[in-house]
Chain A
Amino acid sequence: MLKSIRNSGTHKMLAFAALIVIYIFFAIAGNNFTSVSTTLNILASSYYVGFLALGVTFVIITGGIDLSIGAVMMCSALVGGQLYRNVGLPIWAVLIAMIAFGTLIGWVNGLLVTKLKLPPFIATLGMMMVSLGLGSIITGTSTKNFPTILEPDGWFSRVFFRTESGFPMGVVYLIIFFIFTFIILNKTKIGRYIYAIGSNEEAVRLSGIKVNVWKGLAFVISGFAAGLGSIFYAATYTVIIPNTGNGIELQAIAAVVIGGTSLSGGKGSLTGTMIGVFIMSILKNGLISMNLPAPFQTFFTGIVVLGAVLIDVYRNKKANKVKKLS
């Protein structure tokens, strides 16, 4: 028992230590990094990536990948904007529609992978482009605005972005969603089968389990999270421009990998993913506080991803050695 905790815990501990080290580094090197406003920015810039990352962790643990999440999030925000501005739906209905849209795409991804046997990479790459195009088609390539805090329906911004006093509301929902997904992954059958499929899909099938159902469900969860993420993206930025948001999925996937989830499946944790998300947003805001431009953020994120994977590979090797000896 102790042993298994220790095994799965080390990477998380390392990631957490890295988070602290990076934070301290910027606290010393950056300007005003520890100020309230920067802290709020750190939190605010982790919302939507956080939702995406938590969702896609499920797919990655099954040994798959979901490249569509970024585009789905943008598309779902555009669909929402269209429904709100042009169709005139009340905002609460719009929000439900946004989540439903993301979930629907996730379901389609699941079908493509399980029923039509497409490799996840291809299926979700295709759906990424489909959503990207769809967003532009539906809106006629026009920008969509969500209500800001001062406009009518401004409660949307207060509830999902910041309260009038500046409290970051998104972080509350992110934590709630984290707890929710954590329970699903660690305490229910759904999670057990998702880990099991990632570890050895054939063995799960031979154990008489409907692999397609559970694998498909992982994509549905990922799509649902993308739909949810679109709400927080809309609340944070309020202006949604078609054909933007490229590479958000890669940020989310990078966060998952930094958190120690293995792209070959069977191994990973949501706690790790959360740490990964915060490492990335600390990095982003830290570099801004050092007055370094955006490309530096991309550059250093890349370095962190490589470092995280290297540590994992090295640790696995060591663990294997111990295994052989004992």
Chain B
Amino acid sequence: MSELLLNMEGVEKYFPGVHALKKCCFDLRKGEVHALVGENGAGKSTLMKVLTGIFIPESGQITLESKCVNFKSPRQAQLAGISIVHQELNLMNHLTAAQNIFIGRESDGLFLNEKSINDKTLELFKKLNIKLDPEEKVGNLSVSHQQMIEIAKAISYDAKIIIFDEPTATLTDVEIEELFKIMNELKSQGVGMVYISHRMDEIKKISDRVTVLRDGEYIGTEDSAKVKIDDIIHMMVGRITYEEHKKISDNKEKPPVVLKVENMSSKDVNNVSFELHKGEILGFAGLIGAGRTELARLIFGADKKTTGEIYLDGKKVNVKSPHDAVRLGIGYLSEDRKRYGLSLGMSVANNIVMPNLDEYITAGIISEKKIKKIASEYVDKINIKTPSVGQLVKNLSGGNQQKVIIAKWLLKNSDILIFDEPTRGIDVGAKSEIYKIINKLAKSGKSIIIISSELPELLRMSDRVLVMCEGTHTATLELDQINQNTIMKYATQH
């Protein structure tokens, strides 16, 4: 067993109304990947922010290489050799990739040296197999590329400890492979790494040990190679029941078509037609960049289409903007919820009722009481972890922020709901809650489209699956044809 790099003990952290860490402990050895798991709001990010000097704990002891440390700012932690990839992107969109990565380390003197940081960035990119121009403005990059820039930045510090807080939530499979490759390399160099993720398969694959937190408390640490996934989940949340897979119904008659899309095209979507039935869950499968989100955005009126018709209940409609779509009963939960879906500085309650505000206004006055009541109901329904509905959304954990958006659209009560990556960054317990909710919605007659990069999710949820590849619709699979191999075959063929 290699030597101890870091030890945290008895860490206490309070936020107003929240006891976020309760006598929490954690340790890290040289050259290991230590996974940190737990439900949304369990305190994983908070513990790591305490370690990196962003939050100051009320009490607790942190020892780094057998020296007692007490970081008061991110800078101090950085100087002590700890770097972190945060759960949220923290990039300066107006600066180039190289300028972002080497911010604070431009040069020794006052004057900049662009060439040297560009060269160093190129070297890093080569190591990580990132095919980008160091001089590209970060704001012009896709989310997954932006995440790779964050990772490159964290690695470039030559730190002793690197923390990855849900790094893979926005990465493509290829990039995840690259990340794991570099993590293994760092491991052999003796770097200690903390890895936070909700994806159990990744934890088995990359980590040496796994520590579980629940409600801010330390639950236990296990050997990743030996422990069973079910046992980890049990430690996290207790038993959970998964939704049954769909049964092929004997009822041959299909319910009526509520949404018909014909010859939909744009820059990224190539002449797609499909039908959505009442009470049906239609999965959109495909690799990243297959055009699924783009297709959804066309239906929702968020982007301009070049050709294509939309029929609702057999009537041709003209969806020119999201406003039209919402009015016609189409809801869309964006995959980039942080950016498009939330008012971070407002309360949970106000976010949930936002699209429906009219219903809570009598004689021009907003009824706070009614808002609180309905918001509380939805907070309970999908189990949003918050001290009260008055809490500001920015103070919730990442996963719970996402649940707020789901609540918002559930309340909006649209007939057609498009879920784009509905469970990204959401813990296993809440995931099955969300599956239950979606199934219940479908049963009550709503029609649902799910876009997901997690195949098991599509396999479990969909009545039918529409497969896309490079903007083209390659297949529509009926319930009895849905399986991993078939989907992958159509997702990669073109």
- Interface residue A318 (Cβ < 8 Å from any Cβ of B): no
**B112, A192: Cβ atoms closer than 8 Å:** yes
Most buried by B among A190, A206, A325: A206
Q: Which of B258-276 contact A (CB under 8 A)?
A: 267-268
Give chain A residues whose Cβ lies under 8 Å from the Cβ of B199. none
A208 and B79 contact, Cβ closer than 8 Å, known pairs A187-B111, A189-B112, A190-B110: yes
- Count residues of chain A with CB under 8 A from any CB of chain B: 30
Smallest Cβ-Cβ distance to B157: which chain A residue = A208
B94 touching A198 by the CB < 8 A rule?
Answer: yes
Closest residue on chain A to residue B75 by CB atoms:
A208
CA distance A7 to B268 in the complex (A): 24
CB distance from A213 to the nearest CB of B (A): 11
Tell me whether B95 and A323 are in contact (CB under 8 A).
no
| Chain B residues positioned under 8 Å from A193 (CB to CB) | 103
- Among residues 234 to 293 in chain A, which have CB atoms less than 8 Å away from a CB atom of chain B? 266-267
Q: Which of chain B's residues has its CB closest to A319's CB?
A: B140
Mask for B45-86, Cβ within 8 A of A = 1, else 0? Answer: 000000000100000000000000000011101110000001
Indicate if B188 sits at the interface (CB-CB under 8 A).
no
Compute how far the CA of A7 lies from the CA of B303 in the bound complex, rounded to whole angstroms. Answer: 23
How long is the Cα–Cα vector from A266 to B73 in the complex, in angstroms?
24
Q: How far is the CB of A302 from chain B (nearest CB, A)?
A: 28
B99 interfacial by beta-carbon distance below 8 Å: yes
Q: A4-B96, A4-B135, A187-B112 are in contact. Are A203 and B91 (CB under 8 A)?
A: yes
**By the criterion CB–CB under 8 Å, are A204 and B92 in contact?**
yes
Q: Which residues of B contact A202 (CB under 8 A)?
A: 90
B185 at the interface (CB under 8 A from A): no
B104 within 8 A of A: yes
A269 to chain B: closest CB distance in Å? Answer: 12
Please determine whether A199 and B94 come into contact, CB atoms closer than 8 angstroms.
Answer: yes
Please tell me if the beta carbons of A199 and B92 are within 8 angstroms of each other in the complex: yes
Question: Which residues between 107 and 165 of chain B lie within 8 Å of chain A, taking CB atoms?
Answer: 107, 110-112, 133, 135-137, 139-140
A108-B139 Cα distance, complex, nearest whole Å: 34
CB-CB < 8 A to A205: which residues of B? Answer: 74
Rounded to whole Å, the gap between the CB of A238 and the closest CB of chain B is 38
Do residues A195 and B95 form an inter-chain contact, with CB atoms below 8 A?
A: yes
Determine the chain A residues whose CB is within 8 A of the CB of B111 once the complex forms.
187-189
Please measure, in the bound complex, the distance between the C-alpha atom of A189 and the C-alpha atom of B107, giving whole angstroms. Answer: 8
Shortest distance from the beta carbon of B289 to any chain A beta carbon, whole Å:
12
**Is the CB–CB distance between B91 and A325 below 8 Å?**
no
By beta carbon, the residue of chain A nearest B79 is A208
Is A196 interfacial (CB-CB < 8 Å)?
yes
Q: Smallest Cβ distance from A105 to chain B, in angstroms?
A: 25
Residues of A173-191 whose CB lies within 8 A of B: 187-191
B91–A208 contact, CB under 8 A?
no
Partner of A209, one of B75, B86, B93, B96: B75
Complex contacts, B103 vs chain A, CB 8 Å? 192-193, 196, 203-204, 207, 209
Give complex CA distance A190, B107 in Å: 12
Report Cα–Cα, A187/B91, bound state, in Å: 21
Task: Choose among B99, B104, B303 the residue with the greatest number of A CB atoms under 10 Å from its CB.
Answer: B104
- Chain B 358-381: CB-based contact to A (< 8 A → 1; otherwise 0): 000000000000000000000000
Residues in chain B near residue A207, CB distance under 8 A: 74, 78, 90, 103-104
Determine the distance from Cα of A257 to Cα of B371 in the docked complex, in whole angstroms.
41
Q: Which residues of B contact A192 (CB under 8 A)?
A: 95, 99, 103, 106, 112
Contacts of B90 in A (CB 8 A): 200, 202-203, 206-207
Contacts of B364-403 to chain A: CB distance below 8 A: none
Interchain CB contact under 8 A, A210 and B75: yes
**Known contacts A192-B103, A196-B103; is-contact A208 B112 (Cβ 8 Å):** no
Q: How far is the CB of B81 from chain A (nearest CB, A)?
A: 12
Inter-chain contact A7/B106, CB cutoff 8 Å: no
Q: How far is the CA of A132 from the CA of B5 in the complex (A)?
A: 59
In the bound complex, residues from chain A placing their C-beta under 8 Å from that of B106 are 189, 192
Interface centre among A189, A191, A207, A267 (most CB of B within 10 A): A207
Q: What residues on B are CB-neighbors of A206 within 8 Å? A: 54, 74, 86, 90
Once the chains are docked, how many angstroms separate the CA of A188 from the CA of B54? 28
For residue A266, which residues in chain B have a CB less than 8 angstroms away from its CB?
92-94
How distant is the Cα of A325 from the Cα of B294 in the complex, in angstroms?
10
- For residue A116, CB closer than 8 A to chain B, the reply is no
Task: List the A side residues contacting B99 at CB < 8 Å.
Answer: 192, 196
B266 to chain A: closest residue by CB: A325
Chain B residues whose CB sits within 8 angstroms of the CB of A200 once the complex forms: 90-93
When chains A and B are docked, how far (Å) is the Cα of A205 from the Cα of B49? Answer: 13
What residues on A are CB-neighbors of B73 within 8 Å?
Answer: 208
Contact pick for A4, options B54, B92, B137, CB 8 Å:
B137
CB distance from B98 to the nearest CB of A (A): 11
- Asked if A188 contacts B112 (CB within 8 A), the reply is yes
State how many angstroms separate the Cβ of A110 from the closest Cβ of chain B. Answer: 19
Q: How far is the CA of A325 from the CA of B140 in the complex (A)?
A: 11
State how many angstroms separate the Cβ of B321 from the closest Cβ of chain A.
14
In the bound assembly, the distance between CA atoms of A45 and B136 in angstroms comes to 40
Q: Which residues of B contact A188 (CB under 8 A)?
A: 110-112
Chain A contact residues, CB within 8 Å of chain B: 1, 3-4, 7, 187-193, 195-196, 198-200, 202-210, 266-267, 323-325
Binding site for A on B (CB under 8 A): 54, 73-75, 77-79, 86, 90-96, 99, 103-104, 106-107, 110-112, 133, 135-137, 139-140, 267-268, 303
Can you list 20 A-B contacts (CB < 8 A)? Answer: A4-B135, A187-B111, A187-B112, A191-B112, A192-B95, A195-B95, A196-B95, A196-B99, A198-B94, A199-B95, A200-B90, A204-B92, A206-B74, A206-B86, A207-B90, A207-B103, A208-B75, A266-B94, A267-B94, A323-B139
Q: Which 3 residue pairs spanning A and B have beta carbons closest together? A: A208-B75, A199-B92, A203-B90
